[in-house]
Amino acid sequence: MRVLLHVIVKEFIQLRRDKKMIPALVVGPIMQLLALGYAANMDVKEIPLLLVDQDRTQASRALLDRFEGSGYFRLVGAEDETGRVEPWLARGSAQVALVIGAGYGKAIAAGRTPKVQVIADGSDANSAVVGLGYASRIVTAVGAEIVASRRKAAGIGTAPAAESIEMTPRVWYNPGLTTRWFYVPALLAMTLMLITMILPSVAVVREKEIGTLEQLGVTPVRPWQMILGKLAPFAMIGMVDLVLVTALVVFLFRVPLRGSFLVLALLTVPFLMTMLGLGLYVSALVRTQQQAMMTSAFVFMMPMILLSGLIFPIENMPVAIQYGTVVIPLRYYNNVVRGIFLKGSGIDVLWPEGAILTGIGIFVLAMASLRFRKSLD
């Protein structure tokens, strides 16, 4: 018991002397708590709504007003034809499309049952299910009001609520609303983060601990050669993991790969570049492998996972947090992975994400290289 007490005291003394571990232990959990508290919200509201109004009557405008006034939907655009819905859902600019066919107002006036169609983006199964439920509730309420007004006009009196509008739901990209299709591609991004951020930082710090890094510093090897030599193996391992995990996602979990794997590999390169840069930056900040793992996992990895839209929709987060997510590279890679797997998106749709990832990757690598050189000096 006495020996155990001495060991515990020794660990506390060592922890007190480690000035960089204490911020990681305190700041890391606080950041996770804040990120989880703001991001962990599965409630769906202000769903981006695309309108296709082919009727253009007072009745169709009244239906749209009900959708907007519900607080569940936010109108982001309008089109004249159903064929133009696809680009909106593929880009993620809209999650639900309300299609009001021609003759909607006439059908109501004639006492017939009008039809509307709701198209949902099923790549996010939770949002699709909730969005269709909201739409069905609104349409049912409007239909009940139409029935009540007809009966009142005919002097029949009120009647129990009944539908007088037929809603035809359609789900694109994930017709079965399979939750696995939404979450499994996220494993690809998290695996690449683990391989290319945590492992390089630990590997470099390990060399610091055993003294080989200082020995390399007195050799003719230049700093850029040292940096590239240390990061290149992990970049190659990341690409190999990309192939393996993609194969598991497609053949084991049966998640369709509707897009091109070559496009996925091409847009993975700037993401790996960013993660490798973060790993290098962490290795220049800390001195022990434990510090490297704690800093990588709690300060960088967990907040990025929680705030990237990988698990919780960004649209549900407070506006200030949404603005903060624009600097998170995983947010853009998440769009790339799900866009290629579920929507079959190509480079023509995903090039903005690729450009942003490239810019972030260059910036992070440059900052990490400068910090790493400074630590060598």
- pLDDT tens-digit series, residues 211-270: 666 665 556 666 666 777 777 888 888 888 888 888 888 888 788 889 999 999 999 999
> With a threshold of 0.75, does the pTM exceed it?
no
What per-residue confidence (pLDDT) applies to 31?
Answer: 58
Contact 44, 126 (CB under 8 A): yes
Give the pLDDT band (50/70/90) at residue 37: very low
- pLDDT tens-digit series, residues 279-301: 888 888 887 777 788 888 788 88
CA distance 67 to 53: 13
Could you tell me the two tokens for 308?
A: 């990237």
Percentage with pLDDT > 70 across the chain: 78
Question: Pairing between strand 96-100 and 115-121?
Answer: antiparallel
List, as one string, the DSSP characters of 264-313. Answer: HHHHHHHHHHHHHHHHHHHHHH-SSHHHHHHIIIIIIIHHHHHHTTSSS-
Please give the single-letter amino acid code of residue 247. Answer: A
Question: Cα 251–257–258 angle (5° rounding)?
Answer: 145
